[in-house]
Amino acid sequence: MSGMSTIPPDPLTVPAPDLDLDSLHAALERHWGLAGELTALHGERDRNFRLDSGPVRHLLKVHNPADPESVLDLQCSALRHLRTAAPDLPVPAVVPTGDGRSWIRLTGRDGRTSYAWVHTWLEGRHPEPDELDAPRLREWGRTSARLGRGLRGFAHPAATHPIAWDVRRLPQLRPWLAAVAADRRPAIEAVLDRFDQRVVPVLPRLRAQVVHNDLAPTNVLVDDRLALTGITDFGDLTHTALVCDLAIAAADVLSGRPDGLALAGEVVAGYRAVTPLEPEELSLVADLMAARYAATVLITAWRTREQGWAPEIDDEAQLQLETMLAAGLDDLASRFGAAPSRTGRSTAALAEARGRVLGGQELSYERPLHLVRGDGVVLEAADGRRYLDAYNNVPVLGHSHPAVVAAVTAQLATLNTNSRYLQDAPVELAERLLATLPERFDRVLLVNSGSEAGDLAWRIARHATGATGGIATEWAYHGVTEATFAFSPESWRGAEPLTHMRLVPPPPATSSSVVDAVRSLTTSGHGVAAMLVDGVFTSDGVRGPAHEWTRAAAAAVHEAGGLYVADEVQAGHGRTGDHLWSFVAGDVSADLVTLGKPMGNGYPVAAVVGPADLVDPFVQGTDYFSTFGGSTAACAAALAVLRTIDEEGLVERAGTVGAHLLTALREVATDRPVLAAVRGWGLALAVDVVDQSTGRPDPERAGRVVEGMRERGVLIGRTGRDRASLKIRPPLVFSDEHAEQLVAALAAVCDGLG
Residue 710 domain boundaries = 650-751
Residue 385's pLDDT is 85
55-79 mean pLDDT: 93
| Residue 93 backbone dihedrals phi, psi, to 5 degrees | -105, 145
Q: What is the CATH number of the domain that holds 202?
A: 3.90.1200.10
Residue 683 within a domain = yes
Residue 16 has what DSSP assignment?
Answer: P
Peptide bond before residue 497 is cis, with ω within 30 degrees of 0: no
Residue 354 within a domain = no
Res. 6: pLDDT tops 60: no
- C-alpha of 479 from chain center: 26
What percent of the chain has pLDDT above 90?
Answer: 77
- C-alpha of 178 from chain center: 43
Q: What angle do CA 626, 628, 630 make, to 5 degrees?
A: 85
Confidence of residue 5 (pLDDT cuts 50, 70, 90): very low
Residue 28 within a domain = yes
d(CA 326, CA 330): 11
Residue 409's pLDDT is 86
Confidence of residue 573 (pLDDT cuts 50, 70, 90): very high
Q: What is the CATH number of the domain that holds 110?
A: 3.30.200.20
**Which helix (H) or strand (E) element contains residue 400?**
none
d(CA 455, CA 461): 10
**Which helix (H) or strand (E) element contains residue 115?**
strand 113-120
Residue 313's pLDDT is 63
Claim to verify: residue 138 and residue 49 sit in the same structural domain: no
> What are the tens digits of pLDDT across the range 437-478?
999 999 999 999 999 999 999 999 999 999 999 999 999 999
The β-bridge partners of 715 are 389
Residue 722 within a domain = yes
Res. 341: pLDDT tops 70: no
The region, left, alpha or beta by phi > 0 then psi within -120 to 50, assigned to residue 548 is alpha
d(CA 489, CA 476): 6
Claim to verify: residue 83 and residue 25 sit in the same structural domain: yes
> What are the tens digits of pLDDT across the range 142-194?
999 999 999 999 999 999 988 999 999 999 999 999 999 999 999 999 999 99
Res. 3: pLDDT tops 80: no
Residue 306's pLDDT is 78
Residue 310's pLDDT is 54
Confidence of residue 350 (pLDDT cuts 50, 70, 90): confident
Confidence of residue 259 (pLDDT cuts 50, 70, 90): confident
Claim to verify: residue 154 and residue 84 sit in the same structural domain: no
Using CA atoms, how far residue 453 sits from 505, 605, 627, in Å, is 24, 10, 14
Confidence of residue 309 (pLDDT cuts 50, 70, 90): low
Claim to verify: residue 147 and residue 97 sit in the same structural domain: no
> End of a domain among 78, 103, 120?
120
**Which helix (H) or strand (E) element contains residue 273?**
helix 260-274
d(CA 357, CA 266): 25
Res. 2: pLDDT tops 50: no
> What are the tens digits of pLDDT across the range 495-539?
999 999 999 999 999 999 999 999 999 999 999 999 999 999 999
**Which helix (H) or strand (E) element contains residue 529?**
strand 528-534
Claim to verify: residue 626 and residue 656 sit in the same structural domain: no
Confidence of residue 754 (pLDDT cuts 50, 70, 90): low
d(CA 554, CA 538): 19
Claim to verify: residue 553 and residue 424 sit in the same structural domain: yes
Residue 295 within a domain = yes
> What are the tens digits of pLDDT across the range 9-53?
455 678 889 888 999 999 999 999 999 999 998 777 889 999 999
Residue 419's pLDDT is 83
Average pLDDT of the chain, as a whole number: 92
- Please, are residues 250 and 214 in contact by the beta-carbon 8 Å criterion? no
What percent of the chain has pLDDT above 70?
Answer: 97
> What are the tens digits of pLDDT across the range 705-749?
999 999 999 999 999 999 999 999 999 999 999 999 999 999 999
In sequence order, the 6+-apart residues with CB closer than 8 A to the CB of 495 are none
Confidence of residue 338 (pLDDT cuts 50, 70, 90): low
Residue 366 within a domain = no
Residue 221's pLDDT is 95
Number of domains in the chain: 4
Considering only CA atoms, give the Rg of the chain. 33
Res. 69: pLDDT tops 90: yes
Residue 349 within a domain = no
Spell out a b/e string for 149-176, using b for 16 or more CB atoms within 10 Å of the CB, else e.
Answer: bbbeebebebbebebbbbbbbbeebbeb
Neighbours of 243 (CB within 10 A): 30
Claim to verify: residue 303 and residue 329 sit in the same structural domain: yes
> For 567, what's the count of Cα atoms within 13 Å in the CB-facing half-sphere?
31
- Please, are residues 715 and 387 in contact by the beta-carbon 8 Å criterion? yes
Residue 346's pLDDT is 80
Using CA atoms, how far residue 277 sits from 260, 273, 638, in Å, is 21, 9, 20
Claim to verify: residue 30 and residue 134 sit in the same structural domain: no
Claim to verify: residue 84 and residue 167 sit in the same structural domain: no
Among candidates 167, 181, 417, 419, which has minimal Cα distance to 292?
A: 167
> End of a domain among 336, 358, 383?
336
d(CA 595, CA 535): 12
Claim to verify: residue 133 and residue 272 sit in the same structural domain: yes
| Residue 245 backbone dihedrals phi, psi, to 5 degrees | -65, -45
> End of a domain among 315, 336, 357?
336
Residue 386's pLDDT is 86
Res. 633: pLDDT tops 50: yes
Claim to verify: residue 414 and residue 300 sit in the same structural domain: no
Confidence of residue 344 (pLDDT cuts 50, 70, 90): low
Q: What is the CATH number of the domain that holds 583?
A: 3.40.640.10
Q: What is the CATH number of the domain that holds 741?
A: 3.90.1150.10
Claim to verify: residue 232 and residue 285 sit in the same structural domain: yes
Residue 345 within a domain = no
In sequence order, the 6+-apart residues with CB closer than 8 A to the CB of 721 are 474, 475, 540, 541
> What are the tens digits of pLDDT across the range 491-502?
998 899 999 999
